[in-house]
A and B are shown apart, each in its own frame.
Chain A
Amino acid sequence: MFGIINRLFGRGTSGSKNIAKERLRLVLVHDRVNVSPQFIEMLKEDIVRSISCYMEIDEKSMEVNLASTNSSVALIANIPIRRMKRGTMIHADD
């Protein structure tokens, strides 16, 4: 019954702009990443730089990728650790 009333007053389909916005947001995440192949390299270098302050990592076998499903995009990093730096343990206890 309410459905009919809503349709009579033209309110049945409201809010398709949010669908458009969400689709646009996702499509742009993919587009913007695909635009520059150097992007992942730059990101990788930055990650290595900051992680190296805390632990020694195996840069050669580290993997950084963007994985996407239909509804989301995730940054997946696989970073093998060779050794923890001693200083970081003390900080962790503080």
Chain B
Amino acid sequence: MSEVIVITSGKGGVGKTTTVANLGTGLALAGKKVALVDADIGLRNLDVVMGLENRIVYDLIDVTEGNCRLKQALIRDKRYENLFLLPAAQTRDKDAVSPAQMQQLCKDMRQDFDFILIDCPAGIEQGFKNAIAGADRAIIVTTPEVSAVRDADRIIGLLEAAEMSNPKLVVNRIRPKMVKKGDMMDIDDMIDILAIDLLGVIPEDEHIVVSTNRGEPAVCNDQSKASQAYRNIVRRILGENVPLMSLEIEESLLDRLKKVFGL
């Protein structure tokens, strides 16, 4: 049984593409056959984050327009078994594909894959409608900022209107130090406001920048906190019950001194 999951956010720059790359790679490492679909027609990025930009021959629009077969357009990631990418067209427009075509594409892909992850473009227009058309469920990515949570709320409303129920939330780029200081919204604040289930929390992590520079998803790097958080989300998607990891920061000497002096 295969599952089509759309990763969306409304706002741009919150980490949709990074999340797709890491969850997809994580699922492939767990032995699942995975396809990543870049639905951001005209502004493709998933290929670069995955480090597969030099291997593109055909793209999503070539498939929907019948210029090539699906198998010809799918790029196999040589580093991870079972991981494939269907890149977006770079020189075309969002309306070069329709929701009906996306539905058909997802239906065709179901036969070959356990998981199909769709990277949704920012915004709520045609590109968004295309990206959600063939999906079974949605993961909403947000960051602890007023603008990102506001857009996430709007997306939840639009998904509801499209009768896609029960989306799950991923809170990205949490900075535990700032949360502790009371200078950043915490997870409970956001869950409370958005009233949806939490799928995971990704801490702000410099490893993500490095891995994006290299075009290697961070999820295979054991040391980084963010990759551990992504691996936990992968396990939750696979049905395991994994508790949220602790983002407690170690107290510095100064913190302890402050406590002693009651500051």
With known contacts A9-B263, A11-B263, A23-B146, A18–B153 Cβ distance under 8 A: no
Digit string of B113-152 for contact with A (CB within 8 Å is 1, else 0)?
A: 0000000000000000000000000000000011001100
B183 at the interface (CB under 8 A from A): yes
- Complexed CA–CA distance, A63 and B189 (Å): 35
- What count of chain B residues pass the 8 Å CB interface test? 19
The reply to whether B153 and A17 contact each other, CB–CB distance below 8 Å, is no
The reply to whether A13 and B183 contact each other, CB–CB distance below 8 Å, is yes
Of the listed stretches A28-36, A54-62, A76-84, A85-93, chain B binds A28-36
The reply to whether A32 and B263 contact each other, CB–CB distance below 8 Å, is no
Digit string of A1-28 for contact with B (CB within 8 Å is 1, else 0)?
A: 0000100011101111110110111011
B185 at the interface (CB under 8 A from A): yes
The reply to whether B150 and A31 contact each other, CB–CB distance below 8 Å, is yes
Q: Which residue of B lies closest to A23 (CB)?
A: B146
Q: Which residue of B lies closest to A35 (CB)?
A: B157
- Complexed CA–CA distance, A74 and B93 (Å): 43
Tell me the dominant secondary structure on chain A's binding face. Answer: helix
The reply to whether A17 and B146 contact each other, CB–CB distance below 8 Å, is no
- Complexed CA–CA distance, A10 and B183 (Å): 12
- Complexed CA–CA distance, A20 and B189 (Å): 10
The reply to whether B186 and A25 contact each other, CB–CB distance below 8 Å, is no
Q: Which listed residue, A11, A13, A15, A24, touches B146 by the CB 8 Å rule?
A: A24
By a CB distance below 8 angstroms, the chain B residues around A20 are 145-146, 184-185
Q: Once A and B bind, how many residue pairs between them come within 8 Å at the CB atom?
A: 48
Digit string of B183-201 for contact with A (CB within 8 Å is 1, else 0)?
A: 1111001000100000000
The reply to whether B183 and A14 contact each other, CB–CB distance below 8 Å, is yes
- Complexed CA–CA distance, A9 and B179 (Å): 17
- What count of chain A residues pass the 8 Å CB interface test? 20
By a CB distance below 8 angstroms, the chain A residues around B145 are 20
By a CB distance below 8 angstroms, the chain B residues around A14 are 181-183
B154 at the interface (CB under 8 A from A): yes
The reply to whether A17 and B157 contact each other, CB–CB distance below 8 Å, is no
- Complexed CA–CA distance, A11 and B258 (Å): 11
The reply to whether A16 and B183 contact each other, CB–CB distance below 8 Å, is yes
The reply to whether B149 and A32 contact each other, CB–CB distance below 8 Å, is no
- Complexed CA–CA distance, A10 and B150 (Å): 29
- Complexed CA–CA distance, A20 and B182 (Å): 11
The reply to whether B182 and A27 contact each other, CB–CB distance below 8 Å, is no
22 A-B Cβ contacts within 8 A?
Answer: A9-B254, A9-B258, A9-B263, A11-B263, A13-B183, A16-B182, A16-B183, A17-B183, A17-B186, A18-B182, A20-B145, A20-B146, A20-B185, A21-B189, A24-B146, A24-B193, A25-B193, A28-B150, A28-B193, A32-B157, A35-B154, A35-B157
Closest 6 CB pairs of A and B: A15-B182, A24-B146, A14-B182, A16-B183, A17-B185, A35-B157
Known contacts A11-B263, A21-B185; 11 further A-B pairs (Cβ under 8 A) = A9-B263, A13-B183, A15-B182, A17-B179, A17-B189, A23-B146, A24-B146, A24-B185, A28-B193, A31-B153, A35-B157
